[in-house]
Amino acid sequence: MKLSEDPDLHPILFGLFLSMYLVTVLGNLLIILAVISSDSHLHTPMYFFLSNLSFVDICFTSTTVPKMIVDILTQCNVISYVGCLTQMSLLIVFGCMDDLLLTVMAYDRFVAICHPLHYPVIMSPQLCIFLVFACVLLSLLDLQLHTLIVLKFTYFKDVSVSNFCCEPAQILNLDCTENLNKNIIIYVVGTMFGFFPILVILLSYYKIISTILRVPSSGGKYKAFSTCGSHLSVVCLFYGTSVGMYLGSAIVHSPQKILASSVMYTVVTPTLNPFIYSLRNRDIKDALRKLHRRKV
């Protein structure tokens, strides 16, 4: 589906999305370089998870935006059957990893604020690596569950997808049959990778806020809130737009509204993440300054 039928808007959309994609890639790469090349004060679990999240954001936006930019430039909105399934698979894997990494980061902030004395012991390097590895395995499991549904579809030819990419929710809507197994898998996937992560994040922040409110000094409260403010902003952006996309595809049958929601969580959110973490985080800003001075 085209983003706009107006040919006068195509050059503007091409420049806009190309610049947003470059900002996303360069911004997240800078965060990864800042964490890797900095001294030991950024070699902590929080920034380890942040660098992984930045890498996943680059991969996530790279599954859709380059194809969209080429489509705007060539005015050819066609994708092959294999290409569509590949794009859908990559969206599922990296979208689920985004979801799970944000959940892991919420748990990390919970341990850091609610159990600060035990934090180095609980969040050991071995546990951090295990949690990232678990995110990868669970994302692959999510992909396999979706694949069980999609591969039962017959071969499609000249079928219109009501989005600018092969978004999983739109691909599943192509199957018009009422299949009990399909519905069961969809509900299981939604519970495992939607409800439980949101529940963990909400419980973590409930404990975090309860602990912060008991801090006597206002300076201590501000410092505690500032350490999780960036993460909470990204969580609201990602879940607000992605949940809106899936709910919108089921409730609202307006292709333009669904497309706008999809653009928000696949393009806009990954673009804003580097700004949120760099502008609200003094450690990241200091590391970027050191990296710039070193290059100069």
Summarize pLDDT for 229-260 with one digit per residue, the tens. 777 778 877 777 666 565 555 555 566 667 77
Range in 77-81, 123-127, 172-176 with the lowest mean pLDDT: 172-176
- The amino acid occupying position 188 is V
Residues 6+ apart with CB under 8 A from 104: 49, 131, 132, 135
Write down the pLDDT at residue 126. Answer: 93
Domains (range + CATH), the chain = 79-281 (1.20.1070.10)
Q: How confident is the model at residue 134 (pLDDT cuts 50, 70, 90)?
A: very high
* pLDDT per residue as tens digits for the range 1-50: 777 777 788 888 889 999 999 999 998 888 888 777 666 667 788 889 98
pLDDT mean over 195-216 = 85
Q: Residue 255 and residue 2: Cα distance in Å, rounded?
A: 11
Q: What pTM did the predictor assign? A: 0.85
Q: Which of 269, 205, 274 is nearest to 240 (CA)?
A: 269
